[in-house]
């Protein structure tokens, strides 16, 4: 099982800056909050899908994340981790999602 505490979080700062300049800081911060909640919900649903062997449901939950939700906001590393079914079943993974979204929020806040 991956030790999330020992692995760094990668934020694509250029992507974040581009997004902020396109739609504004407030909207990006709102999007991060929504994305955090949505991602945590999907992770839980993915766990259920894995536990029941419903890999079609797992794929359907992963698809929107893969096609934009996480990559457009600059956290493609989190997407790579979500794609690994072993990470999804790791009880510490929710903390990883929360920690990543917090670091993303901080990156947005630091843009002048």
Range of the domain at 20: 11-109
- Separation CA 4–CA 23 (nearest Å): 31
User: Is position 3 within any domain?
Assistant: no
Count: domains in the chain = 1
What does the mean pLDDT of the chain come to?
A: 83
State residue 7's pLDDT score.
58
Query: Do the domain assignments include residue 27?
Result: yes
Domain presence at residue 5: no
CA distance 50 to 75: 23
Residue 82 within a domain? yes
Q: Which of 12-16, 35-39, 65-69 has the lowest mean pLDDT?
A: 65-69
Residue corresponding to tokens 């359907």: 60
- Is 84 a member of any domain? yes
In a domain, 2, yes or no: no
- 38, part of any domain: yes
Q: Does some domain include residue 1?
A: no
pLDDT at 69: 63
What's the confidence (pLDDT) of residue 8?
66
């Amino acid at each position: 099982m991956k030790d999330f505490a020992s692995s760094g979080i990668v934020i694509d700062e250029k992507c974040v800056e581009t997004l902020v300049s396109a739609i504004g800081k407030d909207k990006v911060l709102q999007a991060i909050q929504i994305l955090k909640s949505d991602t945590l919900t999907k992770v839980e649903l993915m766990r259920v899908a894995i536990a029941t062997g419903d890999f079609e449901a797992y794929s359907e939950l992963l698809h929107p994340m893969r096609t934009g939700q996480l990559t457009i906001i600059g956290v493609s590393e989190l997407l790579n981790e979500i794609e690994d079914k072993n990470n999804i079943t790791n009880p510490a993974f929710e903390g990883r999602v929360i920690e990543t979204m917090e670091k993303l929020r901080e990156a947005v806040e630091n843009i002048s």
